Amino acid sequence: MDSNEATLLGILYTDGCLSPKGKNGWRFYLGNTSWQIIAAFKQSLTALFNLPDRRIRISQKLVNGKPYYKAVMDDMRIGKFLTKQYGTFRTLRYSSEVNGSIYPSACLPDRLQDHSAICQFLKVAFSCDGGVNLYVARNKYLWLIRNVYLACKHPVLIKQYCNLLKKIGIEGKILQADNLIRIQGKKDLKIFASKVGFMKGVQITQHSAYWESFEKEKVLQLLIASYGNPKAIYNLPQFRVKI
């Protein structure tokens, strides 16, 4: 599996969508606030299937004063090929049971065996549906909360993500109540930073109280550096802590 295929799959299993359109058609769809993810989606599709740029229709609108991008492509042949090879990419639960389950039968590809493909797939998945936590906790003492996480509600996929992390030497913990995998501890976070990381340019959204609009990868690097110098984080203006 090459980098483009790993990238496309990483997007389709997270923020992207491949769904039936009409009688025999298929539609690829991606909506995102990050231009870098939209660009990677377009690049992977055009490179894998030798498509002209115009086949992927990209639009933009403002949501809460910030850009929101959409990428759409209709293609029966490619849609059939990918669903035949990988099955469904739907990961969200159904409104009621289908074939005895409230979740679709999504499953990460068996072809994800090569070390570099696993790392690229995880980089894209964490960039889309994951993030990094780095903030100051206060009690009698100060300490840093440091972790990386991937949100996933699908009960099969979340275990498979954990298994992929193990294959490259990273121990992740499934927090079932929170529907996420959390990676913490100096050793595992350093391995994550060196082998996986986040896509360049992908920013933290407005859901973060401290790091909105910062690049995820840059915050990850601050997190790693903080193991040698935690005061550098304590003294950042957003935490307003004097020591």
Mean pLDDT by 10 residues, the chain (243 residues): 96 96 91 96 97 95 90 96 94 76 90 95 98 91 94 96 97 96 98 98 86 95 95 88 49
**pLDDT value of residue 66:** 85
CA R_g for the chain: 19
Burial class (CB in 10 A: 0-12, 13-18, 19+), 60: exposed
Asked if 137 and 208 touch (Cβ cutoff 8 Å), the reply is no
The residue type found at 131 is G
**pLDDT value of residue 243:** 46
Q: Tokens at residue 5, please?
A: 């295929």
Read off the pTM: 0.93
Q: Tokens at residue 178, please?
A: 């929170």
Give the contacts of 189 (CB within 8 A, at least 6 positions apart): 146, 147, 148, 183, 223, 224
Q: How far apart are alpha carbons 183 and 188 in whole angstroms?
A: 7
**pLDDT value of residue 100:** 66
Task: Kindly tell me the sign of the dihedral angle through the C-alpha atoms of 172, 220, 189, 107.
Answer: positive
* Phi, then psi, of 80 in degrees rounded to 5: -65, -40
Asked if 172 and 151 touch (Cβ cutoff 8 Å), the reply is no
Q: How many CB atoms lie within 10 A of CB 4?
A: 17
- In sequence order, what DSSP letters do the residues of 176-201 get, joined into one string? GGGTEEEEESHHHHHHHHHHT---TT
Instruction: Please list the residues that pair with 131 across neighbouring strands.
Output: 149
